[in-house]
Amino acid sequence: MQYNSTELMTVVASRILKNSDVCFVGIGLPSAACNLARLTHAPDITLIYESGTIQTKPDVLPLSIGDGELCETALTTVSVPEMFSYWLQGGRITVGFLGGAQIDKFGNINTTVVGDYYKPKVRLPGGGGAPEIAAFCHTIYVIMKQSPRAFVDKVDFITSFGHGDGPDQRKAMGLNTSGPSKIITDLCIMETEEATGEFIVTSIHPGVARETIQENTGWKIRFAEEVAITDAPELEELEALRLLNEKTKMAHQG
């Protein structure tokens, strides 16, 4: 069955989630991946959105954290202060799923500005709750399309802290969570190398050359000693994703 790179990336990202996860979900690709997991292999996953919705089961993907679909399909909705102070800072969320405009080899994410902070080329939407999610979730997964503009040697601004500039930085900052551990792109999967805190390629998507990955990465990319080939999407996964996207398109256009 034919599929595009966005579908592949979304399916691959969904697979890393477990039925037992309590997951703080970002809008966009993270939301698509998390809900695909819920609709396929992880029906009991607990999805939490920043607006305070717990055990959310949207029929269509939300446009924002304020989308009414989230409250209408959640088990319950709590206040934002309770969500962040009790659930997130209380260590009750296993996974944070984020995206961003820029990411570097240590998993630091920028959603604030491109260029100089005081005279930026582009002013981005900002962090929202992502800085706290990156700090307090037990682990972080990132999903982003790969390009030299997005995968940079050094982010212009650290909105969400990854591993700083090495493996001991989180501990030095007083953070006891593991931070970003996987980046899923439209080309490959990257994972954190424990010794350096740097992201290296551990799996390459079907038909993608190593040279293509390097061309779309702003730092000298390294590959694991054993690099896997990513499994292609299965029919069930693609059908569930396409139905979700079609429902979303019809709901938002209507």
Annotated catalytic residues are: 50
What 3-state class would DSSP assign to 228?
strand
Dihedral-angle region of residue 55 (phi above 0 means left; psi in -120 to 50 means alpha; beta otherwise): left
- Is residue 9 within 8 A of residue 87, CB to CB? The reply is no
- Is residue 151 within 8 A of residue 220, CB to CB? The reply is no
Residue listed under structure tokens 């962090």: 127
Number of helical (H) and strand (E) elements in the chain, helices listed first:
8, 14
What 3-state class would DSSP assign to 85?
helix
Question: What's the CA dihedral at 170, 174, 175, 178 to 10 degrees?
Answer: 50
